[in-house]
Amino acid sequence: MRERVLALYEKWFLGRVAEIGIPRLLITAFVLTLLGVAYFYGMNLSFLLSDSLVRVGRNGILVLALLPAVQGGLGLNFGLPVGVAAGLVGLLIPMEFDLGGWKCFVVATVLAALFGWLAGLAYGWLLNRVKGQEMMVGTYVGFSVVSGMCIFWLLAPFHNRKLIWPIGGQGLRTTLPCTSGMSRFLDDAWRVKFGDFSIPTGLLLYFLVLCGLVALFFRTRAGLAIRAAGENPLYAKACGISEDRSRLLAAALSTMLAAVGIVAFSSSYGFVQLYLAPLMVAFPAVAALLIGGGSVNRASVSHVLIGTLLFQTLLTIALPVANKVVSGDISEVARVVVANGMILYALTRGSR
């Protein structure tokens, strides 16, 4: 009887633990512990959970943008700021002409996708010439693009007085409010409320639809070619698949998703952040993907969903709980410690 129990324990329990992953179990337990502490101190759990769902939808597309790069053998795309910069250009054009509501969002998304695709082709061309060093080169390319765009934001021919500095009449402001009707456009679409708890249905549906489209793409001929080239370049070459072309397509798709993601992020956040704001955008996204179970060589839509949910929920709950438990205002310190600690843990785990 004892041997049967031990066999069942090893086969079912340990197998489930190995399948889910100890890191994910520990993080989930930590999140549940934080929820318990928040309840003990009488904090509004409905508000915390609602804010967590908003942050999941707001940041999820940027995490999803990493998926094509991993599938294509490019590793973790630390060059996300390239796509973010392209998306910001696409977003500012309709804002220059005072478009509002869904028109501004649709036009901005289309332009962001176009500019992101073009920027991704150039970025992919560069990565094809530095094979084996994609993550390091991508980091420096992202930093360089953000620095170069700082000059562009100062010299770009924008004339809308709501966007430019009031003194001098040239150069875009550091933070710009989204046009009327576009701010939280997806958050408020089909919002479902249960007392203090609310679900941003439109924002989450938009994120899930993009996840579904990406999953369907990787079932097509082009998507399977990208996966084959990423997993086994020699086998792909023997099948007549061009590795360079597949890597180029993966980089372009990843950059395009990042451009589309920053439009949704800015709309949900209510503000457009320029200059150095996109500098570190890749690191939380990478941390979320790795915490969800992804790695440098393997990732799926499920890793994106799980990682984004765990990472954003942890950040949302940990800060107010820490501020409540410890006397004094340490919210900013707690945010830096939690965010960077999670990124350090995730990157260390991903390098194994």
What kind of architecture, by CATH, is found in domain 22-350?
Orthogonal Bundle (1.10)
Q: Is 164 helix (H, G, I), strand (E, B) or coil?
A: strand
Interval 102-120: pLDDT, tens: 888 899 999 999 999 999 9
| Weakest mean pLDDT among 88-97, 145-154, 197-206, 227-236 | 227-236
Interval 151-167: pLDDT, tens: 999 988 888 888 888 87
For CA atoms 341, 347, 350, 352, give the dihedral sign. Answer: negative
Smallest Cα–Cα separation from 251: which of 127, 87, 90, 85? 127
The DSSP code sequence of 62-95 is HHHTHHHHHHTT--S-TTHHHHHHHHHHHHHHHH
CA 48 to chain centre: 20
Going by pLDDT thresholds of 50, 70 and 90, the confidence category of residue 62 is very high
Q: What pLDDT score was predicted for residue 350?
A: 47
Distances, alpha carbon 341 to alpha carbons 21, 299, 320, 338, 346, in Å: 19, 22, 17, 5, 9
Q: What percent of the chain has pLDDT over 70?
A: 86
pLDDT at 5 > cutoff 60: no
Q: Spell out the domain ranges in the chain.
A: 22-350
Going by pLDDT thresholds of 50, 70 and 90, the confidence category of residue 25 is confident
Interval 255-278: pLDDT, tens: 999 999 999 999 988 889 999 989
